Structure 1
Amino acid sequence: MRHVDVAVAGLGLSGAAVAWAATRRGHTVAAFEAYAPGHRRGSSHGHARIYRRAYLDPFYVELTGRAGRLWERLEIEAGERLLDRVGGVDHGPGREPERMAALLREHGVAAELLDPADAAARWPGIRFTGPVVHDPEGGVIDPEATIAAMTRLAATEGAAVAHETPVRDLEPDEDGVRFRAGADTWHARTLVVAAGAWTGPLLGGLVPLPPLTVTQQQVFFFAPREPGPWPTIVHGSSEEALEMYALPEGPWVKLGEHLRGTVTTADTRDFTVDPEARERALAYAREWLPGVDPVPRSETTCLYTWAPGEDFVLDRQGPIVVCSPCSGHGAKFAPLIGELVTDLLEGAPPIDRFALRPPRS
Structure 2
Amino acid sequence: MVEHTRIAVVGGGVMGLSAAWALTRRGERPLVLERFGRGHSRGASHGETRNFNNAYAEEHYLDLLALAREGWDALGEVDGEPLLRLHGLVSHGAGAALGSAAGVGLADVERRLHERGLPAELLDGAEAARRWPGMRFEDTVLYSPDAGVARAAAALREVERRIAEGGGEVRWQTPVDRIEEDADGVTLHTAGGPVRADTVIVTVGAWTAGLLASIPLPRLRVTEESPAHFAPRDPATPWPSFNHFVTPGTWPANVYGMPTPGEGVKVGFHCVGDEVDPDARPFRTDAHAETLAAYVREWFPGLDAATAAPISCTYTSTADEAFVLDRVGRVVVGAGFSGQGFKFAPGVGSTLAGLALDPAALAAPAFRLRP
1:197 aligns with one of 184, 188, 206: 206
Please give the per-residue CA displacement for 1:28-78, whole angstroms capped at 9, x wherever unaligned: 211011111111111011011111211133332332223222211122699
Please give the per-residue CA displacement for 1:145-187, whole angstroms capped at 9, x wherever unaligned: 1111111101111112111111122221112111123413210
Instruction: Read off the aligned partner of 1:216 and give its amino acid letter.
Output: E
> 2:286 is matched with which residue?
274
Q: What secondary structure is seen at the aligned counterpart in 2 of 1:144?
A: helix
The 8 Å contact of residues 223 and 271 in structure 2, kept in 1 or not, is answered as: no
Q: TM-score, normalised to structure 2's length?
A: 0.92
What's the % identity of the aligned pairs?
Answer: 40
Kindly indicate whether residue 284 of structure 2 is the aligned counterpart of residue 284 of structure 1. no
The 8 Å contact of residues 46 and 144 in structure 1, kept in 2 or not, is answered as: yes
Kindly indicate whether residue 256 of structure 2 is the aligned counterpart of residue 256 of structure 1. no
> Across the two proteins, how many residue pairs are aligned to each other?
356
The 8 Å contact of residues 111 and 136 in structure 1, kept in 2 or not, is answered as: yes
> 2:35 is matched with which residue?
34
**Hey, which bits of structure 1, 4+ residues long, moved more than 3 A?**
76-80, 239-242
Distance 2:80 2:323 in 1: 29
Please give the per-residue CA displacement for 1:85-120, whole angstroms capped at 9, x wherever unaligned: 110000002223333222322222210111111111
The 8 Å contact of residues 60 and 366 in structure 2, kept in 1 or not, is answered as: no
> 2:82 is matched with which residue?
81
> 1:65 is matched with which residue?
66
Higher deviation after alignment, 239-248 or 185-194: 239-248
Please give the per-residue CA displacement for 1:319-353, whole angstroms capped at 9, x wherever unaligned: 11111152111111000111101110122123211
2:307 aligns with one of 293, 296, 304: 296
Shift of 1:80: 5.1
Kindly indicate whether residue 162 of structure 2 is the aligned counterpart of residue 153 of structure 1. yes
Q: What secondary structure is seen at the aligned counterpart in 1 of 2:315?
A: strand
> 1:101 is matched with which residue?
110
Which structure 2 residues correspond to residues 1-361 of structure 1 after superposition, within 5 A?
1-75=2-76, 81-95=82-96, 96-203=105-212, 205-228=213-236, 229-238=238-247, 242-251=253-262, 252-275=264-287, 277-347=288-358, 348-357=361-370
The 8 Å contact of residues 116 and 132 in structure 1, kept in 2 or not, is answered as: yes
The 8 Å contact of residues 32 and 181 in structure 1, kept in 2 or not, is answered as: no
Q: For structure 1, which runs of at least 5 residues remain unmatched after alignment?
A: none
Distance 1:181 1:81 in 2: 37
Q: TM-score, normalised to structure 1's length?
A: 0.94
Distance 1:193 1:253 in 2: 33
Instruction: Read off the aligned partner of 1:299 and give its amino acid letter.
Output: P
Q: What secondary structure is seen at the aligned counterpart in 1 of 2:180?
A: strand
Distance 2:255 2:175 in 1: 34
Please give the per-residue CA displacement for 1:293-344, whole angstroms capped at 9, x wherever unaligned: 1113411111100113110001111111111152111111000111101110
Shift of 1:3: 0.8
Q: What secondary structure is seen at the aligned counterpart in 2 of 1:43?
A: coil
Distance 1:62 1:341 in 2: 15
